[in-house]
Structure 1
């Protein structure tokens, strides 16, 4: 273990118990203390999920990026492992930026971005580290493995990061984020026979001017007969209700031409319709399922736990199982969530007409709720969750416009950001299915994720000043409500 790795792990061991636990999630992966952002190296290795993450153990703001590390058997219960990477070499002295993981010959390889800042210039290159046991990693002596040698005439190394590595037939490939000379997103494809020697293969896809000034964290895979490219654009222009956040997560669905190395999209759409979801990364497990996890936060946002001096900031989302239906990415909670819910509440076909129906003292910090609403005779629905005297998350549904809106504006500490005019709520269109609106709500202390008809999702953080314990459903018109839920074991 290098001196910087040893220093980081000793600091964590000494200081992790001193942080404020008030808003800590319990079954979402969080760092022991300090700052966390992008998920990295998400991989199924030797029967367990390993998830690394961008990490500054020394402060609750972004800083010199390390790779934190945890593992899980069910994606609900996490075991923290030693920090895997620390900056310090001449090619990564200002940060071990985002990347991915792959198994080869029983070993676990990390492909990551080395970040360097010299005066006013930035150099980003792709580097390799390897582990025999999946815990202790050694940086490759031949680093960097992808740099200006492969980029000549294609792109520059000042914005060149986030490699996602995978194997296809007899070759290893990696997609890497770059940008064009006129500030458009660009995804590059490289190929290798052994993970050590890489060659530029193609410009996979380039964005248009309205699609953001940089595409971060690319991920390319095949699912349900479709090719899927996920990216995270910075400053993508809003289109209707979509891309309202300063940065977004976007899925392109289409076909990959492997001979030419070109991706041909049929459509693209926002991955999550909430306020807190960025830099998603996927892995495939031993059952062939594609699982996705994201940073449940966003850039240029006030973070209450940092402002309050709690000693930490950031969380991962709940991992989600993916599918492609009608050329759209759909998401559902991973099986591990259901296996850890103790169902306690149940209602069947409860009629509510032009009134407010309340469930008193039924909210807890780790909770799963499944609601099915027959809206064939309804006009408007308002669901107040974690309701207190003047607080709570608000979910509303307008039947005529088929619009779901989720607001955290009265849910506690105000969270401001770079979005023009402020942004405390998001809306998405959700058509009923057989006259029914179905939603699953997953709450973990300071996070709320909503899964809706058609596999759509909305993810939010919220930091209560007053603990709300009630649920209130206000109906204009008439609905039939079926509900079940309970506490999530952690």
Structure 2
């Protein structure tokens, strides 16, 4: 079977043809047993060139949205949209992994397969909740008649049984302005004695909206309200809603398809948006006080969060983006997709901040440190500050600088450039010459992303996590983040080069290897 993807770039029409595995079964054979057998037989054939070292991934095949992210019986469980049979998107299963620390992940058997009439075209995204000691997952069943919401239950957190009452929500439960073909991504939670779920639907006017339902038992649901309606500028459809309370505010995070560009914001075809405000639970309506793009890099989508036993709100996202070519599929690596580093959320000045989970510090080794180094119209390297996998943490004083730049994962011909313009106060990540070219449908197609970042006392702090094919940049303590995938083609691409136009004082610099 051949999957044809088309990307439209001004004056250029790019057709990408990917040959899928001949081992892919017929739709009638899409069972959990068949999927697990295929994984066992083929996962050792996956190429390791760009495989990530400390991020959650599938053993083989394609993954996208994180699903069912939950802390259950002392461990973190992460499910995900999964096609084990090929490195391109196809009929979705739920893959599954668990971790004790959000850094070391253990592969588990496939949790759900599209083996029922109501989910025959895919077990789409959803969430998890604990009830009476059991793990319940609520997911979208995709079928030729539309999208419906379904429940599966597990005694051990690994093996699931779909309930006989499925689907528990269907087209008859939608408001009159909703399209049943686009009704998905339930995120379930408990408040007081009731269970609630937020889902999304496309309206008849081609905009997104978040729907709110309530239940006493997770099986019988009642439509509560349209929690929030989108505008034309906020995309033609919303996905992956997540509603939670954080530091006395209500937070709604969702992913918007074709969000309109605004300045430096929303430059990917699809974007993740945070809405901060208050929910009136009697009316089931959200009053929004602030709106912001959650991550300004190239590859961050479909977030989902959990609350753990330490009362931390932790979010994770798919570290790719729709509307792009996927280098690992093109290069026949046997896999596509990974998750971001999990991040702890807080509020500051009315907006979300993201910081890497504290547990990653336990994986930092071979630390190299420098202090109070001055660069004046020059470039330079630091001894032992180099590598493909590690963490770079630095604070720079830019009072007398015009431009400060870091070249990451550099070699003779390739590099990814992170630069700060002290006049415009803009931070830019540019992967134009990072390696394998990534084509996309953005108009215009730009392989750089930028964000305005004010300084604090003329200082800029950067925490940069490097993995085999990813960069995650936390700016000024997580006030901003930029997440990007890169695919260098040279055998070694470990150089980290620093450059200053004008005078830059590197107050502190620390480079650590990340070793699991």
TM-score, normalising length from structure 1?
A: 0.97
Is 2:32–2:112's contact at 8 Å kept on the other side of the alignment? yes
Question: Within 5 A, what are the aligned runs for 1:96-245?
Answer: 96-117=123-144, 122-151=145-174, 153-245=176-268
Task: Give the equivalent residue in structure 1 for 2:19.
Answer: none
Find the aligned partners of 2:127 and 2:143 in 1 and give their Cα distance: 19
Find the aligned partners of 2:179 and 2:403 in 1 and give their Cα distance: 52
1:336 is displaced (CA, Å) by 1.3
Is 2:409–2:488's contact at 8 Å kept on the other side of the alignment? no
Question: Within 5 A, what are the aligned runs for 1:355-394?
Answer: 355-359=378-382, 362-394=385-417
Task: Give the equivalent residue in structure 1 for 2:62.
Answer: 35
Deviation track 1:303-330 (CA, whole Å, cap 9, x = no partner) reads 1110011111011011100001111011
Give the length in aligned residue pairs. 485
Which blocks of at least 5 consecutive residues in structure 2 are unaligned? 1-28
Alignment RMSD: 1.2
Task: Give the equivalent residue in structure 1 for 2:503.
Answer: 478
Task: Give the equivalent residue in structure 1 for 2:324.
Answer: 301
Task: Give the equivalent residue in structure 2 for 1:339.
Answer: 362
Deviation track 1:435-481 (CA, whole Å, cap 9, x = no partner) reads 11000000110000000015210000000111222111111111211
Find the aligned partners of 1:401 and 1:417 in 2 and give their Cα distance: 27
Report the secondary structure of 2:41's partner residue: helix
Task: Give the equivalent residue in structure 1 for 2:46.
Answer: 19
Task: Give the equivalent residue in structure 2 for 1:5.
Answer: 32
Task: Give the equivalent residue in structure 2 for 1:68.
Answer: 95
Is 2:140–2:150's contact at 8 Å kept on the other side of the alignment? yes
1:154 is displaced (CA, Å) by 4.8
1:488 is displaced (CA, Å) by 0.7
- Alignment of 1:457 with 2:487, yes or no, is no
After superposing on structure 2, the runs of 4+ consecutive aligned residues of structure 1 that deviate more than 6 Å are: none
Find the aligned partners of 1:140 and 1:434 in 2 and give their Cα distance: 58
Task: Give the equivalent residue in structure 1 for 2:340.
Answer: 317
Find the aligned partners of 1:462 and 1:293 in 2 and give their Cα distance: 19
1:391 is displaced (CA, Å) by 1.0
- Alignment of 1:57 with 2:80, yes or no, is no
Deviation track 1:60-116 (CA, whole Å, cap 9, x = no partner) reads 100010000000111111000000000010100010000000001110000000001
Is 2:30–2:115's contact at 8 Å kept on the other side of the alignment? no
Task: Give the equivalent residue in structure 1 for 2:445.
Answer: 422
Using the TM superposition, name which of 148-157 and 234-243 deviates more. Answer: 148-157
Question: Within 5 A, what are the aligned runs for 1:256-271?
Answer: 256-271=279-294
Find the aligned partners of 2:259 and 2:121 in 1 and give their Cα distance: 27
Report the secondary structure of 1:91's partner residue: helix
Report the secondary structure of 2:329's partner residue: helix
Report the secondary structure of 1:332's partner residue: strand
Find the aligned partners of 1:282 and 1:236 in 2 and give their Cα distance: 22
